[in-house]
Structure 1
Amino acid sequence: MPEQRPDKRLVADSFSRAAATYDQAAALQRAVGSNLLARLPAEFAPTELVDLGCGTGYFSRALQARYGQQVIGLDLAEGMLRHARQTSPLISGWVAADAEALPLRANSQDLIFSSLALQWCPDLARVLHEAYRVLRPGGCLAFNTLLEGSLHELRTAWRAVDDFVHVNRFMPAEELHSILATGEFGDWRCEVEEHQLYYQRLGELTQELKALGAHNVNPGRPGGLTGRARLRRLTDAYEPFRTDQGLPASWQVAQILMFKPA
């Protein structure tokens, strides 16, 4: 039986609560989003742009600065959109939206940019179909997503403690490639980056995940608070991963460009 994906309403609520703390903890998000932005062809000059899963609006502002065009910021989390409105006075288009049912006309956009948002969508194939519908011929969907293997150290450490689901599940690379290959986009490319962040204490990682709104929202997660004894066992199980730089947290990130035929 396939693993269940997170409930998108739980995801939206989690990110809404994290809006005020997100930017201070988003080093990885900014790095991989900047890498995605840098992959867009230099000659590509979109005039109608969407930042899908815009969060606090960081890349909405970056897209506007790069292309000199107004950007529509779409996000499922109302709290993120409220924060984006307050911190991005030069952008007026902030819309609550589901990536699987975009509130946009067919053939209306040149670029749909989405950084570390689509891994929370239960049906990626549906998202790609919607993006294809909305893009003009020659338009581009640029997105990145987390893959299986992300946070494998934390997942392994929790397995030494109990059998609950404590770490968000992400799509295997093989499943992602299958979805990309069987969709409507004929021209696409996918590259995988590996990132490692380091922490002196495990609590720094878990607090950062909470600040980002990216803590566990999967079916099968435990209810209630985690006791001190279980946290000590988790800490002890994580310690064998420590290096001279600290406790590592690994992330597997797929960077993808897809072009609608002109």
Structure 2
Amino acid sequence: MNEATLDKRLIAESFSRAAPTYDKAAALQRTVGSNLLGRLPRDFVPGDILDLGCGTGHFTRALAACFDTPVIGLDLAEGMLRHANEHSPGLDHWITADAERLPLRSESRDLIFSSLAMQWCPRLDQALAEAWRVLRPGGCLAFNTLLEGSLEELRQSWKAVDNLVHVNSFMSLTELTLLLDDAGFGDWQCDVERHVLFYPRLGELTQELKALGAVNLNAGRPSGLTGKARARRLTAAYEQFRTEHGLPASWQVAQVVMFKQPGRTGVSA
């Protein structure tokens, strides 16, 4: 996503509102975050950890338990951090900040973990540069992000209704790979997972997206409520994707693990 399409203030507000409902709707988020955590090398034992885009603190708590060390949780949404603080006994390091401007000392972290937050960075190159700066030599950036093709069924269904932007846009794998190549880490791996969730009705998918705070925040999105006639057309279009399991919603997730090689020079974004 680029700066022309996303307003960070709207992102923070949307996820702050979703804090009370997020955890109950976050099955996919839990799965892909757990998969990311499982991709860390078994012999990698970080001391200073940042959970970047920590949300409600689920993986902040998981990281603290896994590595038996305090973890800093950082998020753009103050509402998420309040919720995380209330539900994370023993953890008290929470920072409201932007992934593209980390308020942390250079070479102060061993691990930066970030699950499904980077797709909300208009300048992913800047976020990668900041992660490189903050990591110690030998440190790891482990993150996942959504790719082009996510929610493709919903995107195509809306095209049968109008030409407005109704679904968030995501980076292609080619674009992501170029950014990873240029980030200066030297040692990285990117694997793509495809997940398909099924819903009895379209309304359950849209309600889940709202509960997660992952609503349409792009420029060109429609204003106001969707009329009944347009909603019927959308539903009819989506029904064409129905299978024996229900209405599918596809997600393309890039799982990335990068190590900062000693002696290498980072790339300024």
Structure 2 length normalisation: TM-score? Answer: 0.96
1:98-127: CA deviation from partner (whole Å, max 9, x where unpaired): 000001000100000000001000000000
Give the match for residue 14 of structure 1. Answer: 14
Instruction: Give the letter aligned to residue 27 of structure 2.
Output: A
The CA distance in 1 between the partners of 2:211 and 2:5, in whole Å, is 21
CA 1:40–1:155 in 2, change beyond 3 Å: closer, same or farther? same
Structure 1 CA distance, aligned partners of 2:149 and 2:7?
A: 21
Over 3 Å counting, the alpha-carbon distance change for 1:51 and 1:3 in structure 2 is closer
Mapped contact 2:194–2:250 kept (Cα < 8 A):
yes
Q: CA deviation at 1:90?
A: 1.3
The number of residue pairs the alignment matches comes to 261
- Give unpaired runs (5+ residues) of structure 2: 263-269
- Give the structure 2 partner of residue 94 of structure 1: 94
Q: Is 1:190 matched up with 2:190?
A: yes
Residue of structure 2 equivalent to 1:252: 252
Q: Provide the rounded CA distance (Å) in 1 between the counterparts of 2:60 and 2:6.
A: 25
1:117 equivalent in alignment to 2:123: no
Q: Deviations over 1:183-209 (max 9, x none)?
A: 111110000000000000000000000
1:176 aligned partner: 176
Residues 156-171 of structure 1 mapped to structure 2, 5 A cutoff: 156-171=156-171
Residue matched to 1:231: 231
> Would you say 1:104 and 2:100 are equivalent positions?
no
Distance 1:58 1:210 in 2: 19
Q: Deviation digits for residues 1-30 of structure 1, max 9, x if unmatched?
A: x89432111111100000000000000000
Q: Do the aligned partners of 2:154 and 2:249 also contact (CA within 8 Å) in 1?
A: yes
Q: Matches of 1:95 and 1:191 in 2, distance apart?
A: 30
Could you tell me how far apart the structure 1 residues matched to 2:201 and 2:77 are?
30
Change (3 A) 1:204 1:57: same
**What RMSD over aligned residues (CA atoms) do the two structures have, in Å?**
0.9
Corresponding residue for residue 35 of structure 1: 35
How much does 1:151 deviate?
Answer: 0.2
Q: 1:166-187 CA distances to partner (integer Å, 9 max, x unpaired)?
A: 0000001100000000111111
Cα distance, 1:20–1:140 mapped onto 2, change above 3 Å: same
- Which residue does 1:200 correspond to in 2? 200
- Within a 5 Å distance, the mapping from 1:116-155 to structure 2 comes to 116-155=116-155
Q: Counterpart of 1:22 in structure 2: which amino acid?
A: Y
Percent identical residues: 69
Aligned AA (2:137)? P
Match for 2:24: what amino acid?
Q
Structure 1 runs of 4+ aligned residues shifted over 3 Å read 2-5
Structure 2 equivalent of residue 26 of structure 1: 26
Q: Secondary structure at the match of 2:42?
A: coil
Partner of 1:219: 219
Structure 1 153/253 Cα, relative in aligned 2: closer, same or farther at 3 Å? same
CA contact (8 A) 2:3 2:123 kept: no
Mark the runs of 5 or more structure 1 residues left unpaired by the alignment: none
2:51 corresponds to which residue?
51
Q: Is the partner of 2:100 in helix, strand or coil?
A: coil
Q: Give the match for residue 265 of structure 2.
A: none
- Contact kept, 8 Å, 2:99 with 2:127, in 1: the verdict is yes
